Amino acid sequence: MKYEYGGTEYEGTDFYCYPNTKVLMNRFDIREQDKLSSVEREITFAKTFYMQANPFKGALDLKYLQKIHKFIFEDVYTWAGLLRGGGGFMYKGDAMFCRADLIITYADSVFGKLRNEKWLRGLDRAAFIERLAYFMGEVNALHPFREGNGRTQRAFFQELTHRAKYDLDFGKVDGSELLQADIDAYNKDFVPLISLLNTMVTKL
């Protein structure tokens, strides 16, 4: 059986949701999806804004990604920062994300490559954007959390970009265009995302 939340489907027994609903269990015990979405959005916006001004230290890897997710979502979900459980897939449109039981193995490969490339530091702008698009596609395919992957990934890549002496401004492009470019990158077509990143990335 497939379950849907926030535009993402989850295959398997969705133990994250209240019984017989598609609403994620939450600290406020909110059972209405619209109300939960509103509360979640308000809280996570404030937490993300704070984190941008006070970024975490440490290696940019899966644990760092988990730390971001925990900080942003811990006031809403008890499982904030934890890798999604179960053995099933997650879907968004035609995209099928990493199986839950393979997340760590896949992450070791992705973040190992990023480490070997020195977190993209020292690259000229064109090379930086090209490799950034690649890793954005790979981390998106990983999709390690039950909810909140997009917001967590954006914060992660903003920090990676900043450390590489660039700025990444998601507000410079249309959200629907970026979503489609992310889907294309997931399918190994990086041209649309590279095109958008040329608008979004500036040298510090």
Give residue-wise pLDDT tens across range 24-39.
999 999 999 999 999 9
Interacting residues of 203 by C-beta distance below 8 A, sequence separation 6+: 125, 165, 166, 167
**Domain boundaries of the chain, sorted by first residue:** 2-203
Q: Quote the mean pLDDT of the chain.
A: 91
Q: Which bin fits 88, alpha (ψ -120 to 50), beta or left (φ > 0)?
A: beta
pTM of the model: 0.91
Q: Which tokens belong to 83?
A: 């890798």
Report the pLDDT value the prediction gives residue 3, as an integer from 0 to 100. 43
Helix (H), strand (E), coil (C) string for the chain: CEEEECCEEEECCCCCECCCCCCECCCCCCCCHHHHHHHHHHHHHHHHHHHHHCCCCCCCCHHHHHHHHHHHHCCCCCCCCCCCCCCCCEEECCEECCCHHHHHHHHHHHHHHHHHCHHHCCCCHHHHHHHHHHHHHHHHHHCCCCCCHHHHHHHHHHHHHHHCCEEECHHHCCHHHHHHHHHHHHCCCCHHHHHHHHHHEEEC
Q: So what's the architecture of 2-203 in CATH?
A: Orthogonal Bundle (1.10)
pLDDT tens figures, 154-190: 999 999 999 999 999 999 999 999 989 998 998 899 9
Q: Average pLDDT of 8-23? A: 73
Q: Average pLDDT of 28-51? A: 97
pLDDT tens figures, 52-63: 999 999 999 999
